[in-house]
Structure 1
Amino acid sequence: MKAEPAAQRRLLDLAEVDTELARVLHRRTTMPELAEIAAAEQAVRAKADARVAVQTQLDDLDREVARQEKEIDAVRARTDRDRAMMQSGKLGAKALTDVEHELGTLQRRQSVLEDDLLELMERREAVEMDAQHASVELAKAEEALAGATARRDENLKDLDTQQARRDAERATIVPGLPEGLLALYERKRASRGTGAALLRARHCGACRLEIDRRELSRIKETAADEVVEHEECGAILVRTAESGL
C-alpha cells in the first residue's frame, strides 16, 4: 500500500490519541473505586439483612410482650372481680372458700406472668440495643458506599473530559488520512492494540523490539511512500529522521 509520508506521519498523531483513549478506557474499568463500591454494596446488603433480622426479633418480642401484658391484665381483672365478690358479703361459706382458693391461684399466676414479662422486657432491651447497633453499622456502610460512589463519579467526570478532548482531536485527524491507510490502521489497532508506531533508532515503537539487520535493510530500501509493517508485531512503522536508517 502506498501513502504519502506526511499522511503516514499523521498516523503517529492518531496513534497517540488512540493510546490516550485506551488509557481512559482502562482507567474507567480498573479504577480502585469500582472494587471499593462492589465491596461497599455487599457490606450494605449484609448490614441491611442484619438489621432486618434483629428488627424481626424485636417485633416478635413486642408481640410477645403485648400478649403477656394482656394476659396479666386479664388475671388482674379476674382478681379484682373475685375481691369485689368477697367484699360484697353475699357469698356463702363454700363459695367464699372457692373464691379464696381462686384468688390464691390467680396471685401465683400473676406472679409467674410478671416474672416472665420482666424476662421478656430484659430480652427486648438487649435486642433493641442490637437493633440500634445494626442501624449504626448500616449507616456507616451506606456512608462508605456514598463516599466511594462520589469519588468514582468525580473520576468519571474527569475521564469524560479527557475522552471528549481526545475524541475532538481524533475527529480533526481522521478526515486528513487516506481511506485505505486509515482502514489498514484500524485493522491493525483492532487486532494488535496498536495500529502504527514510530520507527526510532532501529526500534519499533509498538512492541519496543529492535529490528534486525535484514528487516532494517528491507525497510531502508522501501520507497518513502510505501507503507511498511513490522514483521514481528504487524504494526505500521512510520519512518522519520529519528528512525536511524
Structure 2
Amino acid sequence: MKADPAVQRRLLDLAQVDAELSRVTHRRRTLPEIAEIAEAEKTVRAKTDALTTIETTLGDLNRDVKRQETEIDQVRAREDRDRKLMQSGSVGAKQLTDLEHEMATLQRRQSALEDDLLELMERREAVEADVQHARVALDKAQEALSDAARRRDSVLADLESTETKRTADRKLAATQFPEPLLALYDRVRKHKGIGAALLRSRRCGACRIELDSNAFSKVRESAADEVVQCEECGAIMVRTGESGL
C-alpha cells in the first residue's frame, strides 16, 4: 500500500487522539472512586444493619419497660384496694389477717418489680446511647459515600467532555485519509491497540522493539510513499528525520 508521506505523518496526530480516547476509556473503568464507592456502600450496609439491630433491642426494652410499669400499676392498684378495704372496718378478723398477709406479699412483689424496672431502664439508657452512636456512625458512612459519588461524577463529567471533544476531533481527522490507509490503521488499532507510531532511532514507537538489521534494511529501502508495518506488532511505522534511516 502507498500513501503520501505527509499523509502518513498525519497518522501520528490521529494516533494521539485515539490514545487519549483510550486513556479516557481506561480511566473510566479504573477510577479509584469506583472501588471507594463499593467499599463505602459496604460500610453503609454494615452500619445500617448495626443500627437496625440496636434499634430492635431498644424496641424490645421499651416494651419490657412498659409491661413492667403496667404490672407495677396493677400491684399498686391491688394494694390500694386492700388498704381501703382494711380501713373500712367492714371486714372480719380472719379476712383482715388475710388482707394483711396479701398486703405484705404485694409490697414485696412491688419492690421486686421496681428493682427489675430500674435495671431495665438503666439498660435502656445504655442502649439509647448506643443507638445515638450508631446513627452518628451511619451518618458519617453515608456522608463518605456521597462524597465519593460526587467526586466520581465530577471526574466522569470531565471524561465525558474530553471524550466528546476528542471524538469530534477524530471524526474530522479521519476524513483526511484515503479509505484503504484508514481501514488498515483501524484494523491494526483494533487488534493491537496502536494503529500507527513514529519510527525513531530504529525503534518502533508502538511496541518499543528495535528493528533488527534485516527489518531495518527493508524499511530503509522502501519508497517514501510505501506504507511499512512493524514486523513485531503490525503498527504502521511513520518515518521522519528521527527514524535514523
Scaled to the shorter chain, the TM-score interval is over 0.9
| Equivalent runs, 1:59-70 vs 2, <5 Å | 59-70=59-70
The residue type paired with residue 58 of structure 1 is: L
In structure 2, what is the equivalent of residue 234 of structure 1?
A: 234
1:177 equivalent in alignment to 2:177: yes
In structure 2, what is the equivalent of residue 53 of structure 1?
A: 53
In structure 2, what is the equivalent of residue 36 of structure 1?
A: 36
The root-mean-square deviation of aligned C-alpha atoms, in Å, is: 1.3
Runs of 4+ in 1 over 4 A off after TM superposition: none
| Equivalent runs, 1:1-245 vs 2, <5 Å | 1-245=1-245
After TM superposition, the score normalised by the length of structure 1 is 0.96
Pick which of 216-225 and 187-196 moved more: 216-225
Pick which of 123-132 and 201-210 moved more: 201-210
SS in 1 for 2:2: coil
* Cα shift at 1:233: 1.5
The residue type paired with residue 184 of structure 1 is: L
2-structure distance, mates of 1:79, 1:224: 115
* Cα shift at 1:111: 0.6
Q: Percent identity?
A: 65
After TM superposition, the score normalised by the length of structure 2 is 0.96
The residue type paired with residue 140 of structure 1 is: K
SS in 2 for 1:199: strand
Structure 2 segments unaligned to the other structure (5+ residues): none
* Cα shift at 1:31: 2.3
* Cα shift at 1:153: 1.5
The residue type paired with residue 241 of structure 1 is: G
SS in 2 for 1:176: coil
2-structure distance, mates of 1:124, 1:95: 42
The residue type paired with residue 237 of structure 1 is: M
2-structure distance, mates of 1:59, 1:183: 70
Pick which of 177-186 and 81-90 moved more: 177-186
Structure 1 segments unaligned to the other structure (5+ residues): none
